[in-house]
Amino acid sequence: MGRFNLIVTLSLLSLFLFFPSPTLAQLRQNFYANICPNVENIVRSEVTKKFQQTFVTVPATLRLFFHDCFVQGCDASVIIASTASNKAEKDHPDNLSLAGDGFDTVIKAKAALDAIPQCRNRVSCADILALATRDVIALSGGPSYAVELGRLDGLVSKASDVNGRLPAPTFNLNQLNSLFAANGLTQQDMIALSAAHTVGFSHCGKFSNRIYTFAPGRQVDPTLNRTYATQLQAMCPKNVDPRVAINMDPITPRAFDNVYFRNLQQGMGLFTSDQVLFSDRRSRPTVDTWARDSKAFNKAFIEAMTKLGRVGVKTGRNGNIRRDCGAFN
């Protein structure tokens, strides 16, 4: 009886080794080589068309990827539309400012892939978003990099899951580090990813406290460059529509570069969560290094984006490939 059990155990072990559990599947760069070999060129072509229509494609897609990965992992759950019975992630207050151009980029790339019989419904929306994010970074002057693929699309999207999962513009360094650490990301990763604000834009209501109501007896945040604060007040008067948007990088708003860090050195970080990276002594050395060394920053950014893309990946029964990125199958 003991020998029989040993044989069964060894047989099961050999099955496990040759047919590993799908939950152990690893992301890999050539995942679609035999499924949809031209996937990267097809996605890049659609992203380029969208980019040529509007630069907003860049920050919109980047932000969509970040907001997706930090809530239930990189599974395109942020793209799901709400229904009468389910309020989805995209309708949480923190996601209402996600620009439609990011969603549209993924939808157009998905349509282009589905027009090819071999690729139809074979590439996940989560992977399309990951590829599109890499492409908008490169199109705006940032580094290009190999994207790990093999994600499935999530089966759940609830607005309530967004609570407490995204960094607020008022966060200090401890709060930022804590939130990023919860996703397996280091302080260096956090600082690198924060530089995505080099091509971002923000609504006045997100930082008005820094230029009008910072503290009793102190209208303006003292870490804010005085000239910059005056410019912000001109662009965002007290009674302005809070949805009015301004560039987060006042120097090179349409270039993905390390000027973001030079801005922080000059007190021109738009959010508290930006400027704190320089004002806090624990993170300042990294800011100073990347302000003068764009190659070092690009390397760190690629590493951080790769790690971000591994957060909460769905495999096996935990996901599928959606026929429509905005709706569950």
Show Cβ contacts of residue 176 under 8 Å, excluding neighbours closer than 6 positions: 167, 190, 194, 273, 276
Farthest CA pair distance, the chain:
84
With beta carbons less than 8 A apart as the criterion, state whether 155 and 327 touch. Answer: no
Q: Per the annotation, does 252 bind a ligand?
A: yes
Among 201, 191, 197, CA closest to 301: 191
75 is in an annotated binding site: yes
Is 161 annotated as belonging to a binding site? Answer: no
Q: Which of 50, 63, 67, 206 is catalytic?
A: 67
Residue 89 assigned as binding residue: yes
Tokens (6 digits) for 72: 């239930």
- Closest alpha carbon to 12 in 24, 23, 20, 2: 20
Q: Does 167 count as an annotated binding residue?
A: yes
Closest Cα partner for 231 from 262, 210, 213? Answer: 210
67 has catalytic annotation: yes
User: Is 77 marked as a binding-site residue?
Assistant: yes
Measured CA to CA, the distance from residue 327 to residue 303 in angstroms comes to 31
CA distance 132 to 127: 8
Residue that has been written with the tokens 């390390």 in this structure: 258
293: buried, middle or exposed (CB in 10 Å: 19+, 13-18, 0-12)?
middle
Residue 162 marked as a ligand binder: no
Residue 245 bridge partners (DSSP): 203
What angle, 0 to 180 degrees and rounded to 10, lies between the N-to-C axes of helices 272-279 and 173-181?
100
3-state secondary structure of 202: strand
Binding-site residue ranges for heme b: 197
Q: Which residues are annotated as a binding site for substrate?
A: 167
User: Which residues are documented as binding site?
Assistant: 68, 71, 73, 75, 77, 89, 167, 197-198, 249, 252, 257
Annotated binding-site members for Ca(2+)? 68, 71, 73, 75, 77, 89, 198, 249, 252, 257
Catalytic residues: 67
